Amino acid sequence: MNTEMNIWNVKFEDIIYNSSGPECTTLAHLNALWASSSSAIMIKSCSPEPRDGNPTPRYVETDLGSINSMWLPNLWYKEYIGYIPKLKQDYKKPVVCSIVGFKPQDFYDLVTAFQQDSDVDMLEVNLSCPNVVGKPQIAYDFEASEEIIKNICAIPGDKPIGLKLPPYFDPIHVDAMANIILKYDIDFVTCINSVGNTLIIDPETEQPLIKPKGWLGWLGWDYIKPIALANVRWFYKRIWHKTKIIGCGGIKNGVDVFEHLLAWASIVQLGTILAKEGPGCFARISREFQEYMDKKWYTSLDEIIGNLKEL
């Protein structure tokens, strides 16, 4: 089966690449991803200044996934802009960069820099991580989200812009964000980021697994797949006619990819499994997806994407 996919003017040779999360912060990480079967390279969410992130332990793997409170460690957006030309020259894959800010002007400045002064192929604007004390996560503050989205969409440039969204748990909140997206030129949305503010306790040590933020962290992998699938489907029903959907959350094998496509994702990202297994996960999961499609006699992605059967 041909698994090429276009996200507007950007061509992906396959439907699987990495999320902005583990193993994409340093140049060594990026080189390893480029040498893998990942169809693109996503660069870690970058900020106006370098960040060390939270104290350790801040990431722990579990049987069902992972919990983390990394708090956006990254090398600085100008460092990543400098990496992009060589990565594209050496490996000929699309480069997607995630950007993050702590106030509206940060988002405007970083999108401007990547639109006008970089060779990046796509921008994923992370509205689902940082927040100001006393205010909700950005994507849960719809007034703040619209201000950011309106401003970044007005910046000249031809690079597709998407949003990394948090999990929504009520259709009314999905409607609120979808209505904003429909007003502006947002090319794709990624559903979802990790599920935040959770606590995992080790009963043997009688301690939490991570230290930062009062021991609260963000869940990935098996814990969140049903939530991710619901968000993909919810947004499909509201914005499918103008905005692509990228599925992210709980993908560890080819069947998980298939489920995200049925829900209406056009392409998927891998996070926790990359941290657990390393870059070899891309080839394995792509092969498993192809084998499962052969078993079900599917011959094209068009037969699968969005075709979740009604009960």
Residues with catalytic function: 129
Q: How many CB atoms lie within 10 A of CB 295?
A: 8
Whether 227 and 46 have beta carbons less than 8 Å apart is answered as: no
What is each CA distance from 257 to 14, 205, 213, 219, in whole angstroms?
12, 36, 32, 19
CA dihedral over 50, 208, 167, 64, signed as positive or negative: positive
Show Cβ contacts of residue 85 under 8 Å, excluding neighbours closer than 6 positions: 119
Among candidates 138, 41, 128, which has minimal Cα distance to 88? 41
Phi, psi torsion values for 193, nearest 5 degrees: -75, 175
Contacts of 189 (CB under 8 A, 6+ apart): 162, 163, 164, 165, 181, 235, 239, 243, 244, 245, 246
CA distances from 119 to 20, 78, 114 (A): 18, 12, 8
> What residues does 18 pair with on adjacent strands?
270
Return the SS3 of 182: helix
